[in-house]
Structure 1
Amino acid sequence: MSRQKRRKHLTFDDSFWMWLESPETPMQVAALAIFAAQDEPATAVVERILTAFRCHRDVDPRFRSLLGYRRFPRRTRLEATDHIDTDRHLHHHALSAPGGEHELAQLISRLHSDRLDARRPMWEVHVIDGLDDNRFAIYLKAHHALINGVDAVRLFGRSLATDADAPITAPVWATVRRSPTKATAGRRRSSRVEVLTAIARATKTLWRAGCTDSPLVGPFAAPRSPLNVDEIGPNRQIATAAIELSRIKRLTKRSDTTVNDIVLTACATALRRYMIEIADLPDKPLVLGCPVSIAPEGSATASSIGIMFVDSATDEPDAEARLARIALSTRAAKEHQAALPHAALVGYAIVAMTPHTLRQVVPGAVAHVPPTFNLIVSNVPGPDRPLYLAGARMVGMYPLSLLFKGEALNITAVSYDGRLHFGFIACRTALPDVASLTRYLGDAFDELEDRYATALPDLERRPAG
């Protein structure tokens, strides 16, 4: 691989993901897309896709970037390369046909456990055939310092066609990024004093929240739980589920809440049942860390994210009361961040995450510093219409995220073509039965529907999965 020496550095918030990188906590995010071939064998479609992909040697700048490890607080060195060997990044797997969901989950669990090689640009694409029902899958994995979950879904969508008869599109690594949007257009630029003042004021409000009855969740409100272990192993276990968006939207209308409120409530309900069954439900409610993107599309800081802390109400036995508490908590968190000027969002996110960052970068801190939140739960908007590759329709898109030190579970959801697809990532040693959570998630939606059954007599039930 030839290189041209053009070095620069990542921003402070993008470097965060490299500082946290370790053999036990690889900071990589991924997406799993499943396709159904229409008029020809899936194996033939896969061969055509691989042939077409191997012909694309033009690589988007973000996928031509080498990341150099540097210890906190030194920013990560970024070095561009003129040429990469795409054969080292594109891989082909064949399951023993007919491969089912279990076999696919086993393969993806292994692939998601493998750490990306920093000697090359840190991304991989795996094309998988041998699935039953004439299906195949594509698994995209990239380091979070290069791309975040929202941007990954956006790029994946652009690399597919909206017409089944369209020719094979360029692979995701060859996708040409759109011109950067002008995030500051129509927005008054804040001075440095205004930004620092806003950050200080918001931080003070957040810290005081823990001492009041405010629905805003402050730091150190999260209890110790089975989801928070001192050490997690390097091996991951994944599980997936899908829910019809029509079910969720009907529930939002009856309860006067949002899609995100319903999703968080269903996740909290599933977690509550899981911990009751293992006889270890904390008396205090779990705290959910919910990432929000704070970087405009096309921004150079593509992985910039903020965070809001949400009361999960896992100590509440009533489903309707649990939903009400979660809705109140998310509304308070959104209003809290909305009061900040946009220029202060990155700085505030760094300050709000400082206790969590210290748990990650200070040796032994996980065992002594209380968790800032118990787990991450994300909800990412995705394409709302069918997408195709080589004539095959994408029938599922599952987001797969990462684990931090001391956190054994992550739940991420992405919407696509009328369904909400959930990806569960767990530490295999700490939570060996993560698949049970997908069943409990389906039961949680059933419970909410039963709660509002008299108000929604025409509600159609569809199973999860």
Structure 2
Amino acid sequence: MKRLSLIDTCFLKMESPDTPMHVGALLTFRLPPKIGRQYLSQLVARLRSYPVSRSPFNHVLAQGPLAAIAPYWETDQHVDLDYHLRHSALPKPGGQRELGVLISRLHSHPLDLSRPPWECHIIEGLEHNRFAIYLKGHHAAVDGLGGLKLIKSWLSEKPDALNQPPPWAMPLPTSVRPPAPGPFAAAQQRLTGLRAQLRAVPEVYRSLVRARLEYPNGSLPALLKAPSSLLNGRIGGQRRFATQALKLSRLKRIAEQTHTTTNDVLLAVCGGALRRYLSELDALPRSSLVSLVPIALRPRRNQVGGNSLCGLLTDLETQIADPVERLHAINVSTQAGKRHIQQLSPTALAQYSLLLMAPLTLAKVSGLSGSLPPLFNVLISNVPAARNKLYFDGAELEGIFPLSVLFRGQALNITALGYAESFTLSFTACRDALPRVQKLAIYAGEALDELERALGIADIETAERRVVSINDAPRVRERLANPTDGA
């Protein structure tokens, strides 16, 4: 038995048909050379032969009155792998549109919470000799960082590594399986935890008071700062998915020249793209859009399941037209936020995170998400994946594209991920609320171009940008002229 943390429980309680609380990852691979036509069929058959023996893949939500009050995971000894592992094929030509449509639909479907909350889809038929794997799991079971950590441990840096077990069958390190405490020790642990939570309450209060001077976005008045916008109306359950791939070296070069960080550059690029997108729709607020930027807390050793996150409320400075001025203003805000949370103890940070999530949970429970002012306008995450190329059964991993959750009153989520030399932006949006999301992906690439031109460092790399990067570079110009996204 493993109890859900308060943050995990919040994600569970926010589950609804309009806001399915699962995260996902699309992994695209290039088929190994000199393989038979049955490579993928044989791969799927081999994956099905492994038992589901690892958490969180064999964890299911417990049922009963106690679990309804304090949810907890229990081990499912008979996981139906035929349900969780699925094999499908794209219709011809197997290009970016077909894959985008399929992933948008798969990510729109809620998970069955009477089963272990995860799915794995093997997708063949991609053009240019490729295939894809789409994984999704409930946010109450794993956060994005933990999921990517699991993917890294599953794949290999060796191109010749073969017969790798699937993630649900990989052995857990022995250090994460300590003996279960006895009843007295368990009660003592809970009492110690309760005392720590009570001691942290005054610390959180003092930090909120101090924030009015040190970090205005972290103070209580700032919780009502975000303007109403097109991004914050009522949402439905259907999703759109669009991507943009950039070279990580471009962001690093801007950060070095401006004495900022790559995350600041990311936020400035997103701010520029949103400013242009909303301006074209005559829907740009006069005051700056506010982003919630998740910050990974230091997890327990070898932690995979659960969530270890805090959040910074950061102005995207969308009211500023000059891209360099916007970047420096964002840097001031993010640095103040980092200094502020670094002064808090881990327990106080957890309470601060719950304070940020409380309005989201309240909006779900009350059904007033369309009437309450937004806590923030958009959630933007930056997740590191791997510096080196990764492989699965001899197939090279070409790209990782994360898909995230949408909260009530939040029609857009942007997740950035660094892999090898690439830096991908994934846009998960409500199909009913935001039109032509692919324009946002294109505008993000052009916002980076604009930053480089303003700093005098634009070069030939800007011509190598790949829009909807699940496709190959030769078709970029055609897609720029005729942008599409997952329908």
Please, what TM-score do these two structures have when normalized by structure 1? 0.90
CA offsets per residue over residues 225-248 of structure 1, 9 Å max, x none? 00010x211110101111110111
Tell whether the 8 Å contact from 2:52 to 2:79 is kept in structure 1 after alignment. no
Match for residue 280 of structure 2?
277
Please tell me the residue identity of whatever aligns with 1:268. Answer: G
Tell whether the 8 Å contact from 1:14 to 1:304 is kept in structure 2 after alignment. no
Match for residue 205 of structure 1?
210
Tell whether the 8 Å contact from 1:181 to 1:296 is kept in structure 2 after alignment. no
Please tell me the residue identity of whatever aligns with 1:367. Answer: G
Between 1:440-449 and 1:217-226, the stretch displaced more is 217-226
Match for residue 251 of structure 2?
248
Compute the displacement of 1:175 (Å).
2.7
CA offsets per residue over residues 161-191 of structure 1, 9 Å max, x none? 1111111311122233343499xxxxxx995
**Separation in structure 2 between the aligned mates of residue 191 and residue 353 of structure 1, nearest angstrom:** 20
CA offsets per residue over residues 272-325 of structure 1, 9 Å max, x none? 000000001000110000112223343486223211100000011110110011
Match for residue 156 of structure 1?
151
Match for residue 186 of structure 1?
none
Which residues in structure 2 correspond to 1:454-465 (within 5 Å)?
Answer: 456=457, 460-461=461-462, 462-465=464-467
1:200 is paired with a residue whose SS is helix
CA offsets per residue over residues 239-279 of structure 1, 9 Å max, x none? 11111101111111111110100011101110000000000
Please tell me the residue identity of whatever aligns with 2:114. Answer: R
- The structure 2 residue matched to 1:264, chosen from 264, 267, 290, is 267
Please tell me the residue identity of whatever aligns with 1:204. Answer: V
Match for residue 90 of structure 2?
95
Please tell me the residue identity of whatever aligns with 1:52. Answer: R
Please tell me the residue identity of whatever aligns with 2:27. Answer: A
Once superposed, what is the RMSD of the aligned Cα atoms? 2.4
CA offsets per residue over residues 210-229 of structure 1, 9 Å max, x none? xx994757211100000010
Match for residue 367 of structure 1?
370
- The structure 2 residue matched to 1:9, chosen from 3, 19, 22, is 3
Q: Does 1:177 align with 2:172?
A: yes
Tell whether the 8 Å contact from 1:24 to 1:233 is kept in structure 2 after alignment. yes
2:90 is paired with a residue whose SS is strand
Match for residue 451 of structure 1?
454
Gaps of at least 5 residues in structure 1 are 1-6, 183-188
Match for residue 3 of structure 1?
none
Identical-pair percentage: 37
Q: Does 1:132 align with 2:133?
A: no
**Separation in structure 2 between the aligned mates of residue 29 and residue 192 of structure 1, nearest angstrom:** 29
**Separation in structure 2 between the aligned mates of residue 22 and residue 142 of structure 1, nearest angstrom:** 15
Match for residue 309 of structure 2?
305
Tell whether the 8 Å contact from 1:42 to 1:136 is kept in structure 2 after alignment. no
Match for residue 103 of structure 2?
108
- The structure 2 residue matched to 1:348, chosen from 349, 352, 359, is 352
Compute the displacement of 1:66 (Å).
1.2
Tell whether the 8 Å contact from 1:38 to 1:392 is kept in structure 2 after alignment. yes
Tell whether the 8 Å contact from 2:272 to 2:447 is kept in structure 1 after alignment. yes
Which residues in structure 2 correspond to 1:18-417 (within 5 Å)?
Answer: 18-40=12-34, 44-68=38-62, 74-178=69-173, 179-180=175-176, 194-206=199-211, 208=212, 214=216, 218-229=222-233, 231-294=234-297, 295-299=299-303, 302-364=306-368, 366-417=369-420
Tell whether the 8 Å contact from 2:269 to 2:444 is kept in structure 1 after alignment. yes
Which residues in structure 2 correspond to 1:428-439 (within 5 Å)?
Answer: 428-439=431-442
Tell whether the 8 Å contact from 1:380 to 1:412 is kept in structure 2 after alignment. yes
CA offsets per residue over residues 357-397 of structure 1, 9 Å max, x none? 32232222x13321110111000011110111121100000
**Separation in structure 2 between the aligned mates of residue 73 and residue 332 of structure 1, nearest angstrom:** 40
Between 1:240-249 and 1:71-80, the stretch displaced more is 71-80
**Separation in structure 2 between the aligned mates of residue 73 and residue 50 of structure 1, nearest angstrom:** 36
Please tell me the residue identity of whatever aligns with 1:126. Answer: H
**Separation in structure 1 between the aligned mates of residue 148 and residue 37 of structure 2, nearest angstrom:** 25
Change (3 A) 1:109 1:42: farther
1:153 is paired with a residue whose SS is helix
Give the number of the structure whose residues are more often helix, by fraction. Answer: 2
Tell whether the 8 Å contact from 1:125 to 1:141 is kept in structure 2 after alignment. yes
Gaps of at least 5 residues in structure 2 are 179-192, 468-487
